[in-house]
Chains A and B, each alone.
Chain A
Amino acid sequence: MKNSNVGYKSTIDKQTLLLLGIFTILMVFFGFVEDSFLTNRSISSMAIQLPEMGILSLAMMITVMIGGINLSVNATANLSAVLAGLFVLQVVPQLATDGNGGALIVTIILVALLVGVLTGVFNGFLVAYLNVPPILATLASMTVFTGIGVGLTKGQTVTGFPDALGMISSQSVFGIPLPFFVFVGVSIVTHVLLKYTTFGFKTRMLGTNPTAAKFSGINNKSITMKVYVMSSMLASIAGVLIMSRTMSASNAYGTATYVTLTILIGVLAGVISGKGSVINVFITVLILQVISTGFHMLLAGVKGSAFFKDFVWGILLIAIFIINYFSRSRNKE
């Protein structure tokens, strides 16, 4: 039968299976060798740490999907936290008193998201309208955003928030910390946006071939702008989570390490121009966190154990490259 077409992308991504396999192997491995690995305490500590990195990785991913990059994700997160923090401490200090917990958190989130929109428009303008290569545009904006934050805080960490701020990080539902649910929620929204909206469809097309996208009537500038705004807003959400976990806001959190990690996660998850899966990014973030926590426990007390984690991340990256190479060449036969 000619032209028998099955449904829309019904096959499971091979990369997803590979990542799930790696995740399972790691869980089993650490579960056996380290008794305390599968305890509630260890799992909930992982669940607090990974959402920040996970959301920043989604922020990176969507820009990579249109052939761009956003080096300013971490700077955006920090600037959002700093500005939101300064706003509640200095502009509306009455909120920073106990008993206004709900209003405080809502205000912080709104200010952070506003900062996300503005920084996103800034990046999007540079990339879409001034045609600055994304790597240069966001390198510049990274410096600008950090500079603004340092200028406003004089390089100091912003502290003195009421305990209510810590609620986001300290609350648990069914024993799982709230930030993890925030990560799951953000991931679902991003997944739906990319896969089931015309915005996501056009994002994939633009990433695959910008010239054909233009000739197909896609407004490349507008899509690029939206992608950078969305990227910055995701970064701002990560900023709020960091703020809540550390009870402070500073320009010095994460910095270059976080940015390179988000790129690493994107590569491991197989994100390229025109293609990217939120599910793969999600699993990859879990894998990196498991490796990090697992080796930390295993090598507790051993000198240089922190470096071992980086080493294993690197090995994993190379292993995935090798597996992908062989599965690709087999497909070609």
Chain B
Amino acid sequence: MTSKILQVKNISKSFAGVKALDQISLTINEGEIVCLVGENGSGKSTLVKIISGVYSPDNGEIIINDHSYKKLTPIDSMREGVQVIYQDFSLFPNLSVAENLVINEHLSSGKKFVNWKEFDHIAAKGLAEINVSIPLDMMAGDLSTADRQLIAITKATLAKARVIIMDEPTTALTQKEIHSLFNIIMDLKKKGISTIFVSHKLNEVTEIADRTVIFRNGKKVMDQDAKTLDIKTMEWYMTGRELDKSGIQFSHVNQQTEPLLEVENLTLQGKFTNVTFSLNPGEVLGITGLLGSGRTELALSLFGETPANSGEIRIEGKTVSIKSIQDAMNNRIGYVPEDRVIEGLFLDQSISDNVVVRVINKLVNHLHLINPQSISQVSNEWITRLEVKTPNGNLPAKSLSGGNQQRLVLAKWLASDPKLLILNSPTVGVDVGSKASIHELIRNLANQGMGILIISDDVPELMQTCNRLILMRRGKITNEFKRETITEELLNKEMVANRSGMVQ
């Protein structure tokens, strides 16, 4: 019954003498869901790019639908039914849903005129096939991330995909959206379409995979039935070492001291209402909830980006007014944004400049001129302290890997010596090894007396870092837990309870 759709045999690929892929062989069967797992730089993306024809392998063979190729062009790959859904979905934001869905087919058909009725017809049929309904006339740029992803999937199925490769598809999705994505992947499976699911999130892998393939340093180190694999084993294969979570030292919070941050009845019209909580120095407080629960908006209000309409914010007992980002900074509040590329970093500028951007006003001499030596000194200090792996601080920030970029954003904020650090999804798109060390860093910072707020919907992450958790739903705090009294399962259940509440 199972027939092989895609086979790669003994593929190797080197970049400037570094082996990105070393003798990789892999088979994808019809209707199979294969998860491709590995840390950053393990060769996953290189393999995806070889299968989709972006890179040509140094040696080896690719067999799709019984056609053998020494190297593929992107056109060959698409013609054989391989479709890749990249993280940015490659949609045209200024075109409608229908136009986005039909454009490829229209272009390849060579038609010179546009038949709008036909456009809508094809688009509607495509969406119906994967059971989603999105208005055809909406601009793709106005859609939510989840909907844009659905459009990208529909586009792939309309192009008669036999294998769909999804690159980190759940990164920007909420739990609820992840579940509907998984349902769609299961539907595709029933239709005989295979999925290659590239992911860092191991709990998702165990949920969706038929088979799991693990890469480490360009080699395939594991390829087996997903049912027989647990997360711990996968981590071991990915990192080559055991990530010990049992011995985590949580920060000790001194309950006697005055709270660092007190928020009382904070309200931002339409986003959140009457939010009240407090945070002690040395405490890590997690704020979780679904997308749209108001968690991100609350963080942005505390940081002055979208000031609250009413309510009170007190820092060390003193009422403060936070109407702008400058106000927040004057109160020594730092914010590590969710999207490090757009909100966090200056990718084309040097790593050093990124580190010192917050403190540049202090790095001047008596003539108010920038002192290049102070810049090197401060940036080197933080590059070393946060173990940002780079040969040279003068290289642009874009030369760093995802995990190191995230450390760089942290370095930028830590350099400004904040009392309160707000972290919004601090390890999105970061590999398991880096993730563990960022979590350790967060706990260490708290131990040194910093107050930390983590906004996240990554339950294992919250469990590994937070002393206390707040659950938000529709702009209100619905629940508060101490870490000692809650388990991962229970927290997941609480979020599920919220989810069923959302449907009504």
Query: Which residues of A are in contact with B by a Cβ distance under 8 Å?
Result: 2-11, 192, 195-198, 200-202, 204-205, 208-209, 211-219, 274-275, 333
Docked Cα-Cα span, A275 to B392, in Å, equals: 20
Residues of chain A with a CB closer than 8 A to B329's CB = 217
* Residue in chain A with minimal CB distance to B300: A215
Residues of chain B with a CB closer than 8 A to A2's CB = 389
Q: Top 8 nearest A-B pairs by Cβ distance?
A: A8-B372, A5-B393, A208-B346, A196-B369, A217-B329, A216-B357, A196-B370, A5-B380
Residues of chain A with a CB closer than 8 A to B392's CB = 4-6
Kindly list 15 other residue pairs between chains A and B, CB separation below 8 angstroms, not including A8-B375, A201-B370, A209-B345. Answer: A2-B389, A3-B388, A3-B391, A5-B352, A5-B380, A6-B394, A8-B352, A208-B347, A209-B347, A212-B342, A212-B346, A213-B346, A215-B325, A215-B337, A217-B329
Given A5-B376, A9-B350, A274-B348; A197-B393 close (CB under 8 Å): no
Interface: B260 (CB within 8 A)? no
Count: A-B pairs, CB below 8 Å = 97
Given A212-B342, A215-B325, A217-B358; A3-B380 close (CB under 8 Å): yes
Residues of chain A with a CB closer than 8 A to B350's CB = 9
Interface: B343 (CB within 8 A)? yes
Given A3-B390, A5-B379, A196-B370; A215-B353 close (CB under 8 Å): no
Residues of chain B with a CB closer than 8 A to A201's CB = 353, 357, 360, 370
Docked Cα-Cα span, A120 to B383, in Å, equals: 40
Asked if A9 and B394 sit within 8 Å, CB to CB, the answer is yes
Asked if B357 and A218 sit within 8 Å, CB to CB, the answer is yes
Residues of chain B with a CB closer than 8 A to A217's CB = 325-326, 329, 358
Asked if B342 and A211 sit within 8 Å, CB to CB, the answer is yes
Interface residue tally for chain B (C-beta within 8 Å): 42
Asked if B344 and A215 sit within 8 Å, CB to CB, the answer is yes
B residues 315-367 in Cβ contact with A at 8 Å: 325-326, 329, 335, 337, 342-350, 352-353, 357-358, 360-361, 364
CB distance from A127 to the nearest CB of B (A): 20
Docked Cα-Cα span, A275 to B350, in Å, equals: 12
Query: Which residues of B are in contact with A by a Cβ distance under 8 Å?
Result: 16, 305, 325-326, 329, 335, 337, 342-350, 352-353, 357-358, 360-361, 364, 368-370, 372-373, 375-376, 379-380, 383-384, 388-394, 412
Docked Cα-Cα span, A309 to B345, in Å, equals: 43
Q: List 28 A-B contacts (CB under 8 A).
A: A3-B380, A3-B384, A3-B393, A5-B352, A5-B380, A5-B392, A5-B394, A6-B394, A7-B372, A8-B373, A8-B376, A9-B372, A196-B369, A196-B370, A197-B368, A197-B370, A198-B364, A201-B353, A202-B360, A205-B346, A209-B345, A209-B346, A212-B346, A214-B325, A215-B344, A216-B412, A217-B325, A333-B16
Residues of chain A with a CB closer than 8 A to B347's CB = 208-209
Given A8-B372, A201-B360; A3-B383 close (CB under 8 Å): yes
Given A196-B370, A215-B335; A8-B394 close (CB under 8 Å): yes
* Residue in chain B with minimal CB distance to A218: B357
Asked if B370 and A198 sit within 8 Å, CB to CB, the answer is yes
Docked Cα-Cα span, A255 to B283, in Å, equals: 63
Residues of chain B with a CB closer than 8 A to A9's CB = 350, 372, 394
Docked Cα-Cα span, A201 to B364, in Å, equals: 11
Most chain-A Cβ atoms within 10 A of its Cβ — which of B345, B349, B379? B349
* Residue in chain A with minimal CB distance to B391: A4
Asked if A219 and B326 sit within 8 Å, CB to CB, the answer is yes
* Residue in chain B with minimal CB distance to A214: B325
CB distance from B6 to the nearest CB of A (A): 29
Asked if A212 and B343 sit within 8 Å, CB to CB, the answer is yes
CB distance from A329 to the nearest CB of B (A): 14
Residues of chain A with a CB closer than 8 A to B372's CB = 7-9
Docked Cα-Cα span, A231 to B372, in Å, equals: 26
Residues of chain A with a CB closer than 8 A to B393's CB = 3, 5
* Residue in chain A with minimal CB distance to B367: A196
* Residue in chain B with minimal CB distance to A208: B346
CB distance from B300 to the nearest CB of A (A): 10
CB distance from B33 to the nearest CB of A (A): 35
Residues of chain A with a CB closer than 8 A to B394's CB = 5-6, 8-11
CB distance from B363 to the nearest CB of A (A): 8
Docked Cα-Cα span, A211 to B370, in Å, equals: 23
CB distance from A5 to the nearest CB of B (A): 4
Asked if B335 and A5 sit within 8 Å, CB to CB, the answer is no
Q: Which of B335, B342, B364, B373 contacts A209 (CB 8 A)?
A: B342
Docked Cα-Cα span, A273 to B321, in Å, equals: 34
Given A209-B346, A216-B358; A7-B353 close (CB under 8 Å): no
